[in-house]
Chain A
Amino acid sequence: MPKKQFGVIGLGTFGSNVAKELEKKGMQVLAIDIDMDIVNKMSQYVTQALAADAVDEKAMKDAGIADCDTVIVSIGESVETSILATLIVKELGVKNIIVKCVSQWHSRVAAKIGADKVIYPEFEMAKKLVENIVSTNILSQIELSKDYDLIELIAPKIFWGSTIKDSGIRSNYGVNVIALRRRVPTVDDNGNADIKEEVNMVPCADDEIMQNDVLVVIGSREALSKIKKV
């Protein structure tokens, strides 16, 4: 199976990290930025790094951007440049275009001209950070859809020693435990203490919730907000 080809236009902090991570996953990555110094630095991390103007249609065509399966436009400094680059990539026939946006207006325009997905990393991170600060027992939260989330929750004290069934998580709170992460204390033969993590990916109703557990829970935002307060 041929490797998927990705294009990353704009190699700021976000774009360069996307490019590096894609390459780490074994993908072919074409990384483009107008700044030659940045391109030189990136060339050691990606399949091909090119200095080109993202709003120059011929330069983008010559760079081979049309051959990419997915292109990520991560130009944050100028909304106008981001929009023009998106339009050019679209017209060159790229099937999947992801655009990093800095505002709602930016995302609306990007979507109108054919972006397949718009993302706001800073807005999303801000939301996650606030969630973590406000609810100290929440380790992470992933948005699954408009109304549903998946959260990692430190097992509340009232559940310690109960089975999943007896805890009433499902019946009282209307959420499902889809995995259990357990921090298991260990001491090796040399007497060194450590923590090993065990993950139960298929928890049963009779599995006991222990003090050191992290519950991976899925449910509606409304239901999850109740369990966060326990």
Chain B
Amino acid sequence: MKDDGKIQKNDKTEHMELGKFYFLNNKCDEAISEFKKVIEIDAGSAEAYYNIGLTKETCGDFCGAKEMYSKALSLDQNYKSAREKLNKLIGLEDE
């Protein structure tokens, strides 16, 4: 059981890193697919949702990005970067 947990943690990190690699290289679909794999392993990963939001925003899908930032905030209310990005897309002034 302990080993399973370790393997899952490694998988999660790997998918997250791979997602970031694709994100950096403007491969939106591949990046989102990797971040979604992180969510399959850890449904409470606010960072994965945030990263999907960033990827969608980079590719011009602002509605999708807002949805993902909101999801990240619902998992972690103190997620400052997600709050800032969401506020910017909605048009709210920084607090």
Footprint of B on A, CB under 8 Å? 137, 154-155, 183, 185-187, 191-195, 210-212
Closest to B57 in A: A195
Does any Cβ of A come within 8 Å of B8's Cβ? Answer: no
Cβ of B58 and Cβ of A212 under 8 Å apart?
yes
Given contacts A211-B59, A212-B59, contact A195 B26 (CB under 8 A): no
Question: Which of B23, B26, B28, B60 contacts A193, CB < 8 Å?
Answer: B23
Question: Which of A154, A183, A187 contacts B24, CB < 8 Å?
Answer: A187
Given contacts A194-B81, A195-B57, contact A212 B20 (CB under 8 A): no
Does any Cβ of A come within 8 Å of B51's Cβ? Answer: yes
For the complex, what is the distance from the CA of A43 to the CA of B94, rounded to whole Å? 23
Does any Cβ of A come within 8 Å of B73's Cβ? Answer: no
Given contacts A193-B54, A194-B54, contact A187 B60 (CB under 8 A): no
Q: How many A-B residue pairs have CB under 8 A?
A: 38
19 new A-B contacts at CB < 8 Å, known A194-B81, A195-B85, A211-B60: A137-B60, A155-B60, A183-B57, A183-B58, A185-B23, A185-B54, A185-B58, A187-B20, A187-B23, A187-B24, A191-B17, A191-B20, A192-B81, A193-B23, A193-B50, A195-B57, A211-B28, A212-B26, A212-B60
A137, A183, A185, A211: most-surrounded residue (chain B CB, <10 A): A185
Footprint of A on B, CB under 8 Å? 17, 20, 23-24, 26, 28, 50-51, 54-55, 57-60, 81, 85
| B47 CB → nearest A CB, Å | 8
16 A-B pairs with CB atoms under 8 Å apart are: A185-B23, A185-B24, A185-B26, A186-B24, A187-B20, A191-B17, A191-B20, A192-B81, A193-B23, A193-B50, A195-B54, A195-B58, A195-B85, A211-B26, A212-B58, A212-B60
Question: What B residues does A193 contact at CB under 8 A?
Answer: 20, 23, 50-51, 54
Question: What A residues does B20 contact at CB under 8 A?
Answer: 187, 191, 193
Closest to B28 in A: A211
A186, A187, A193: most-surrounded residue (chain B CB, <10 A): A193
Question: What B residues does A195 contact at CB under 8 A?
Answer: 54, 57-58, 85
